[in-house]
């Protein structure tokens, strides 16, 4: 019986610490959506487009001001990454994940250069449309 009580208390402690930790994190959504073209390789004169809503997770609410201050720099980096992709990458789940990771890595690089620390904990696409 003691083992079950100990296990329950340990699990409850972990859940509480995770809940407290999650309260410190904050999200910044880039608005408006990022919309850019990409060249369809087999049709040189036609363009495809991708529309993405991006949110980044930062460690604290205080970091939101830093992200907001550097929003234009980050938006430009995301557009450059998206517009340089091929149709096959844009349209596959694995390609989408690779693009997400590339955006996350680039955001961390830029913020490290600008403010001395990467700040962004995670990046997610909350909307991802292509044509």
Q: What CATH code is assigned to 25-130?
A: 3.30.1130
pLDDT tens across 10-41, in order? 555 544 444 444 568 999 999 999 999 987 76
Q: Residue 123 in contact with residue 100, Cβ under 8 Å?
A: yes
Question: How confident is residue 6, by pLDDT bands cut at 50, 70 and 90?
Answer: very low
Whether the bond into 89 is cis, omega within 30 of 0: no
Q: Which helix (H) or strand (E) holds 49?
A: strand 47-58
Output the furthest CA–CA distance in the chain (Å, rounded): 72
> What's the pLDDT tens digit per position in 54-111?
999 999 999 999 999 999 999 999 999 999 998 889 999 999 999 999 999 999 999 9
């Amino acid at each position: 019986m003691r083992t079950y009580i100990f296990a329950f208390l340990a699990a409850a402690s972990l859940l509480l610490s995770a809940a407290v930790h999650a309260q410190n994190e904050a999200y910044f959504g880039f608005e408006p959506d990022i919309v850019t073209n990409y060249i369809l390789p087999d049709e040189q004169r036609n363009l495809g487009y991708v529309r993405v809503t991006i949110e980044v997770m930062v460690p604290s609410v205080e970091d939101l001001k830093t992200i907001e201050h550097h929003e234009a720099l980050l938006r430009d980096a995301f557009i450059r990454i998206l517009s340089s992709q091929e149709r096959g990458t844009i349209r596959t789940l694995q390609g989408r994940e690779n693009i997400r990771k590339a955006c996350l890595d680039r955001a961390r690089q830029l913020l490290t250069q600008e403010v001395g620390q990467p700040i962004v904990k995670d990046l997610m696409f909350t909307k991802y449309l292509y044509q």
